[in-house]
């Protein structure tokens, strides 16, 4: 049986599932957004056009964010494949499961993410904002 060979990968299976679910959701949503952006070109009246321009901008911002998230997720899946998942890329300590559950695509432990040095990462993890800020 396959289960005899206990792989390190098994430990990250739940996170892999989380990542794949999220990836599927994002991909579907991005498809939908692309369609919405393409649809609206036959309008003449200004108010509608203005509204659509705003809406388009919003859609673009959302898409950019989601495309970035897709890239993060794909990188995380690659790290799982290479047995490098769950290790902070900065300090190389293990990232706690609790954090991986909240942000399965994270590359940084809480200390490194909240240290204030990694402003790039702070931008990438807004949804983790409160626990990080609380520990200050």
Instruction: Give me the residues that bind Zn ion (CB under 5 A), please.
Output: 88, 90-91, 109, 112
Min separation Cβ 112 and Zn ion, Å: 3
Min separation Cβ 94 and Zn ion, Å: 9
Min separation Cβ 71 and Zn ion, Å: 21
When the beta carbons of 37 and 87 are compared against Zn ion, the nearer one is 87
When the beta carbons of 71 and 91 are compared against Zn ion, the nearer one is 91
Dihedral angle sign, alpha carbons of residues 80, 107, 100, 110: positive
Q: Quick check: 114 and 129 in contact, CB under 8 A? A: no
When the beta carbons of 91 and 117 are compared against Zn ion, the nearer one is 91
Q: Name every residue whose Cβ is closer than 8 Å to that of residue 19 and which is 6 or more positions away in sequence.
A: 73, 76, 77, 80, 104, 105
Helices (H) and strands (E) counted in the chain, each on its own, are 6, 0
């Amino acid at each position: 049986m396959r289960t005899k060979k206990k792989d390190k990968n098994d430990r990250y299976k739940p996170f892999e599932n989380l990542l794949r679910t999220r990836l599927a959701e994002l991909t579907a949503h991005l498809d939908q957004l692309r369609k919405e952006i393409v649809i609206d070109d036959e309008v003449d009246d200004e108010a509608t056009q203005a509204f659509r321009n705003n809406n388009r901008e919003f859609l673009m911002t959302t898409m950019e964010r989601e495309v970035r998230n897709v890239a993060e997720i794909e990188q995380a899946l690659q790290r799982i494949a290479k047995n490098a998942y769950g290790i902070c890329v900065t300090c190389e300590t293990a990232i706690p499961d609790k954090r991986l559950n909240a942000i399965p695509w994270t590359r940084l432990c809480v200390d490194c993410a909240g240290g204030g040095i990694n402003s790039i990462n702070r931008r990438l993890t807004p949804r983790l904002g409160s626990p990080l800020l609380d520990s200050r």
